[in-house]
Copies of this chain bind each other. A is one copy, B any other.
Amino acid sequence: MIGLIGGTGAEGRGLALRFAMAGRKVMIGSRNPERAASAAEEVRNLASDLDIQGSDNVTAAKNSQVVIIAVPYAGHKSVLAQIKDHLVGKVVVDVVVPLIFKDGVAHASIIEEGSVAQQAQSILPASFVVGAFHNISAHDLLIPDQPIDCDVVICSDSLKAKQCAIELAQLIPGIRPVDGNGLECSRYVEDFTALLLNINRIYGRHSMVKISGI
């Protein structure tokens, strides 16, 4: 089971759809289990034979072998503290970006720990944290037959977590996983999302990242 904590947002639902389309069992978690159930139903209706359930965040964390954190940054620390005990020994994939908006421009906040992924690792010392999936368009993920043409840069200090994120990325056709070195490099990928959102506003499109030359 893949758990999507804070999975009712667009990025969480988009990843839930794509992982379920690849035949994986998915549980969407939310602080509000009714919202999780209705998000799960909404995503199930996008394609056939999707195994997606909704529940509260603790239940989603407890029942999943791999847990993806997709909460808004404002809830990042508090949600992780709440589900921490259910993440021991597990791979935790953090897709959170510390975005703020000022006068219509997206900015990335400076994170004391260096990156959101490093913040997660410091809250979850007994888990294997990996930063990934920051730069994918949620809009495109949520259209089942929309081809995704991007790279997913994967940053972790744990080989096991890196391998897990690589396998998750490979579940989505068109995505190439790229090794982005350790957790301390996650900042560059997280922050680049702010640039992409500003590019989206200028071009009226859904931009993503590819690394050329490798």
Name A residues whose Cβ lies closer than 8 Å to a Cβ of B: 105, 107-108, 110, 137, 140, 149-150, 153, 178-182, 184-185, 187-189, 191-192, 194-196, 198-199, 201-203, 205-214
Collect the chain B residues with CB atoms within 8 Å of residue A210's CB. 209-212
Q: How far is the CB of A207 from chain B (nearest CB, A)?
A: 4
Give the Cβ gap from A145 to chain B, nearest Cβ, in Å: 16
The CA-CA distance from A149 to B213 in the complex, in Å, is 8
Question: What secondary structure prevails in chain A residues at the interface with B?
Answer: mixed
- Bound state CA distance, A172 and B95, in angstroms? 35
A153 to B196, CA, bound (A): 11
B211, A208: Cβ atoms closer than 8 Å: yes
What would be 20 A-B contacts, judged by CB atoms less than 8 Å apart?
A105-B185, A137-B213, A140-B213, A150-B212, A150-B213, A179-B199, A180-B199, A181-B195, A181-B202, A185-B198, A188-B194, A189-B195, A203-B214, A205-B213, A207-B211, A207-B213, A207-B214, A210-B210, A210-B211, A210-B212
